Structure 1
Amino acid sequence: MTKPKNPRGTPFEEVAFPVFEMPHVGKAQYNYTTGWALGRFLAGLKEGKILGTVCRKCGRVFIPPRMYCSYCFREVDDWVEASGEGTVHTIVASYIEATRARAKEPKIVGVIKLDVPGYNFDDHFFPGVLHYICGAADEDVKNMKLFGARVRARWRPPEQRTGSITDIECFEVVRP
């Protein structure tokens, strides 16, 4: 057996890449089905509810919901509703817009550990969502003031909701 010359691969300079020209590229539109779990979650958001599923075997709650428990490998048992309040578990100041352009002002984004009545969660597994934190500044992130802060969902008015995660405008810091 012979040893390869370069175990890291072939440098790009040594490889000729074909170039394809596309004389016309049409506008493609796609439809994607949400499935019953995500569909019900989005319908719940439109109604001002944060829904999840629960596996009674291991006690895990999934938000957004799943059809099957990824730990027990069985179908989930039931639906639960989060309170719309929670605790900031992680947080970051993002200076990048959705268009990948540099943001003038940072958007504060965090993972919110949601409260689900009747359930207690440890820090290793909890139902949570990644969302904007409003009423927070870059300095709050730099000084680590928001870790563990209590927050509450700020909903769009019912007539403006579309069944999207953006039906929750952001999570507001609950000041004592």
Structure 2
Amino acid sequence: MQKIYPAIPVLKEDEGKIIEISYKPEAKYLLSAGQAISRFLNELKNGRIIGRKCYGCNRILVPPRIYCEICFKATDEWIYIRDIGKVVTAVVSYITVDARKAEKHEVVGIIEFIDAPGQGIFHRINVNPENVINRKIFGVTVRAVWKNINERKGDINDILYFEPIEEIK
């Protein structure tokens, strides 16, 4: 009889030649997010969105970067922006962030910030999936809905989702 292992069929003549060891590592590590993203995450914990201004190409970079990828100059100053943007793209997802089947659908997409044209983040959008399927959500103005201040951790999920602040037509 043939034993089946994940993605690799094992033939009868190969039985006993394969060793399988399962363990759960207890890896402890620290990862620095860097100067710009660390500040960005700290500001999210405070319910604010911050970017970096590049005077070389006159853009506000969100998420912030210390060097501009367009003109290759160091960015010049920190700029707070409003948590308001427009939906650039959206999709109804049935897959979780760790690639498992979701119990319930989730609408996710790119939000372009009003105060930082051409810049945005990928996040959850609290809308009826029909508005994505019929393409009515694109271009709609949305605002961030934040976790309660005592629940924030300093990560992107401190923003629960974005929701429309105008009627979807």
Q: Structure 2 length as normaliser, TM-score?
A: 0.81
In structure 2, distance between residues paired with 1:133 and 1:78:
30
The aligned residue for residue 157 of structure 2 is 166
- Residue 130 of structure 1 aligns with which residue? 122
Cα distance in 2, alignment partners of residues 48 and 25 from structure 1: 36
Quote the residue 1:15 is aligned against.
none
C-alpha distance in structure 2 between counterparts of 1:21 and 1:165, whole Å? 38
Q: 1:156 aligns with which of 143, 147, 151?
A: 147
Tell me which protein shows more strand as a share of its residues. Answer: 2
Distance in 1 of aligned mates of 2:87 and 2:66: 26
What letter is aligned with 1:148?
A: G
Alignment of 1:73-152 (within 5 A): 73-116=72-115, 121=117, 126-134=118-126, 136-152=127-143
Residue 62 (structure 1) aligns with: 61
Distance (Å, rounded) in 2 between the aligned partners of 1:36 and 1:113: 23
Query: Partners in 1 of 2:21 and 2:72 — Cα distance?
Result: 45
- Regions of 4+ moved over 4 Å: 19-25
CA distance in 2, matches of 1:36, 1:56: 19
User: Structure 1: how far apart are the matches of 2:24 and 2:145?
Assistant: 41
Q: What amino acid does structure 2 have at the position aligned with 1:132?
A: R
1:175 Cα deviation (Å)? Answer: 2.9
Q: Please give the alpha-carbon distance, in whole angstroms, between the structure 2 residues aligned to 1:102 and 1:168.
A: 23
Give me the whole-angstrom Cα distance separating, in 1, the residues matched to 2:23 and 2:94: 35
Give the TM-score, by structure 1 length. 0.78
1:100 deviates by 2.2
Q: How many angstroms does 1:157 deviate by?
A: 1.0
Any idea what the Cα deviations from partners look like across 1:68-111, whole Å, max 9, x if unmatched? Answer: 01111111011111110110011111110234222242100010
C-alpha distance in structure 2 between counterparts of 1:47 and 1:26, whole Å: 34
- Cα deviation code 1:2-43 (max 9, x no counterpart): xxxxxxxxxxxxxxxxx7865866322221011111111011
Equivalent position of 1:52 in the other structure: 51
Q: Residue 163 of structure 1 aligns to which amino acid in structure 2?
A: G
* Percent of paired sites with the same residue: 37
Structure 1: which 5+ runs fail to align? 1-18
Paired residue secondary structure (2:31): coil
Residue 48 of structure 1 aligns to a residue whose secondary structure is coil
